[in-house]
Amino acid sequence: MKKLLTILCSAFVLFLFVPVQANAASEPVSTSVPTTSTEALSNRLTEIREMDKSGMSSPEKKALREEKRAIKKQPNSLGGGVYITAGGLLLLIVLLIILL
């Protein structure tokens, strides 16, 4: 029993240090978009959609597209979260059953 518990604890420790894919490799969010609430960002997206773009020059349209992309990426970075793998969850449940 002691050997089994040692193996399970070792496996649990190994699962804790599984590398998690980070968003660091993605493009940084443009600094032209201020960090604001999600509601303000959605209001800005609505304003951009409703704009009359027929009279704009190509660089102005491009700037709007870039701003729109930056706004769409920003809410994803606001709310992080904790993720646990299926194997880690299963191991946690097994350890709780054994210890309790």
- Measured in residues, the chain has a length of 100
Nearest alpha carbon to residue 99 among 11, 4, 13:
4
pLDDT digits (tens, 9 = 90+) for 44-55: 889 988 988 888
Burial status of residue 37 (CB atoms within 10 A of its CB: 0-12, 13-18, 19 or more):
exposed
- Tell which wins on pLDDT, 94 or 18: 94
pTM check: above 0.75: no
Mean pLDDT, the chain, whole residue set? 77
Sign of torsion, CA 64 69 72 75? negative
Q: Side-chain half-sphere of 25: how many Cα atoms within 13 Å?
A: 3
